[in-house]
């Protein structure tokens, strides 16, 4: 068998990797900036934070499944380039609207809806593009490399974001993320790839959509993984919508402190992704995913307990909880993503990814506003505990489902 070239020697993957890293860095910077923008600059509540977060995911409900069909019908690279450049323009409108005095929470929600629509189109092609750059045997390692870069961005981005927010304000800081998407679009356009127009018998969009949905939800191991991931996203959205106002209002962290806690999540994610391949091979896919979701629940339980303390211990507990949360995500994400990609034929990659991502994001559309409303009515800490319990429960349920039979050796596409 011919030896496969190392990933760093494959120019297509290398450039795609850099483009993703730049975009990830900008995204992590704006994670801090948007939260501060809503809570501090616009005087928004936890419910407003949830609405803004939910707006980015709402387009998944409207067109998420259909763009999976699109990604399987056309070349994927031009779609990635166009949507990256479009997102750069959308985010660039935020500081412009702020400077004109036209920015408020409803307007920001509208901008994020446009951003979300472009993200739906991009996501359908992004995860489906990687199998065209590397061999199936290299998918796990390639996903680990992408996750390691994202973890580095998650570590440095919030610190940079917190510093920029303190120095130049949240609205202008979001411009950095806009520029990162522009750079990503240019780099992707320059990425060499075998990305032909798919040759396929034309059928109705509905027929192709049903084929993709059927592949996901009829497969004996992919179905429980997809359903478990949907549950995870629901409760993750509750935690996400609650954490920023909890950290700013109850833990009394400033923008720099908030960025520091997010950075510790990045440190954990980097450590987790670096160990993902080894740990997955040692204890198996089902055990890793379940253990990681339980670890993430423990991480946010520590954060919830931080509210009962004062002084420096608050920052230590919040940062430590984010460290555990990031560690779980870093370990689990490359394993589940590579499993999905290796299991699915190329002609179904776009629809498989779009199907799972669409329902995941639908859970965010529900969970983010729900988390904000729960936090406003029952208290920020109560909302955190609901999210903790939910993620722990999804992990336990996944372990006793058909996903317990999943293995690294998926064999030919279609095997479990």
DSSP state at residue 2: P
Radius of gyration for the chain, computed over Cα atoms and rounded to the nearest angstrom = 20
CATH number of the domain where residue 334 is located? 1.20.1250.20
- Domain-located, residue 116: yes
122 is a domain residue: yes
Query: Is 280 within the bounds of a domain?
Result: yes
Considering its fold, how many domains does the chain have in total?
1
Q: How far is CA 173 from CA 15, 93, 201, 238, 253, in A?
A: 26, 12, 47, 25, 19
Per-residue confidence band for 408, with pLDDT thresholds at 50, 70 and 90 = low
Q: What is the mean pLDDT of residues 182-205?
A: 77
Tell me, yes or no, if the pTM score tops 0.85: no
The Cα 272–Cα 279 span in angstroms is 9
Greater pLDDT, 346 or 101: 101
For 205, 305, 391, the CA distances from 313, given in Å and listed in that order, are 55, 11, 25
Inside any domain, residue 412: no
Let me know if residue 322 belongs to a domain. Answer: yes
Please tell me what DSSP assigns to residue 9. Answer: G
Q: What is the mean pLDDT of residues 18-23?
A: 88
Helices (H), 190-284: 205-218, 222-245, 255-283
Pair of tokens at residue 227: 């359903």
Report the half-sphere exposure of 4 (CA within 13 A, side-chain side). Answer: 13
Q: Is residue 398 in some structural domain?
A: yes
Q: Please give the pLDDT value at position 2.
A: 47
Looking at residue 315, what is its pLDDT?
81
Proportion of the chain above pLDDT 90, given as a percent: 27
> Is residue 275 a part of any domain in this protein?
yes
Query: Is residue 197 included in any domain, yes or no?
Result: no
pLDDT value, residue 255: 75
Q: Given CA atoms 15, 331, 176, 316 in this order, what sign does their dihedral have?
A: negative
State the number of CA atoms in the 13 A half-sphere of 259 facing the CB: 25
The residue segments making up the domain with residue 25 are: 8-192+204-405
Contact 388, 304 (CB under 8 A): yes
């Amino acid at each position: 068998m011919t030896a496969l070239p190392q990933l760093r020697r494959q120019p297509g993957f290398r450039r795609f990797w850099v483009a993703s890293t730049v975009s990830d860095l900008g995204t992590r910077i704006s994670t801090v900036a948007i939260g501060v923008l809503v809570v501090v600059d616009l005087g928004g509540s936890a419910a407003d934070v949830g609405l803004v977060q939910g707006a980015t995911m709402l387009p998944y409900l409207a067109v998420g499944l259909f763009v999976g069909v699109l990604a399987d019908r056309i070349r994927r690279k031009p779609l990635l380039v166009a949507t990256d450049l479009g997102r750069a323009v959308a985010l660039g409108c935020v500081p412009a609207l702020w400077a004109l005095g036209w920015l408020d929470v409803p307007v920001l929600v509208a901008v994020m809806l446009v951003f979300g629509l472009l993200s739906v189109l991009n996501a359908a092609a992004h995860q489906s593009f990687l199998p065209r750059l590397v061999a199936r045997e290299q998918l796990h390692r390639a996903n680990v490399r992408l996750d390691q870069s994202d973890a580095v961005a998650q570590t440095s981005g919030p610190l940079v974001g917190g510093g920029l927010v303190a120095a130049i304000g949240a609205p202008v800081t979001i411009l950095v993320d806009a520029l990162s998407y522009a750079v990503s679009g240019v780099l992707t356009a320059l990425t060499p790839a075998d990305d032909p127009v798919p040759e396929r018998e034309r059928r109705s969009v509905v027929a192709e959509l049903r084929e993709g949905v059927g592949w996901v939800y009829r497969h004996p191991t992919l179905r429980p993984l997809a359903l478990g991931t949907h549950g995870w996203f629901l409760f993750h959205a509750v935690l996400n919508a609650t954490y920023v106002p909890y950290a700013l209002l109850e833990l009394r962290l400033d923008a720099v402190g908030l960025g520091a806690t997010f950075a510790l999540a990045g440190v954990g994610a980097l450590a987790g992704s670096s160990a993902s391949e080894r740990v997955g091979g040692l204890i198996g896919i089902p055990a890793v995913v379940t253990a990681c979701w339980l670890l993430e629940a423990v991480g946010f339980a520590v954060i919830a307990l931080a509210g009962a303390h004062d002084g420096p211990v608050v920052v230590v507990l919040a940062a430590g909880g984010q460290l555990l949360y990031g560690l779980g995500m870093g370990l689990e994400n490359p394993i589940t993503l590579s499993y999905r990609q290796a299991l699915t034929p190329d002609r179904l990659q776009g629809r498989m990814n779009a199907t799972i991502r669409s329902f995941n994001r639908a859970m965010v559309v529900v969970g983010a506003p729900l988390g904000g409303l729960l936090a406003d009515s029952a208290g920020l800490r109560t909302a955190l505990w609901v999210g903790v319990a939910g993620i722990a429960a999804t992990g336990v349920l996944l372990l006793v489902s058909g996903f317990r039979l999943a293995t690294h050796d998926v064999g030919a596409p279609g095997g479990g």
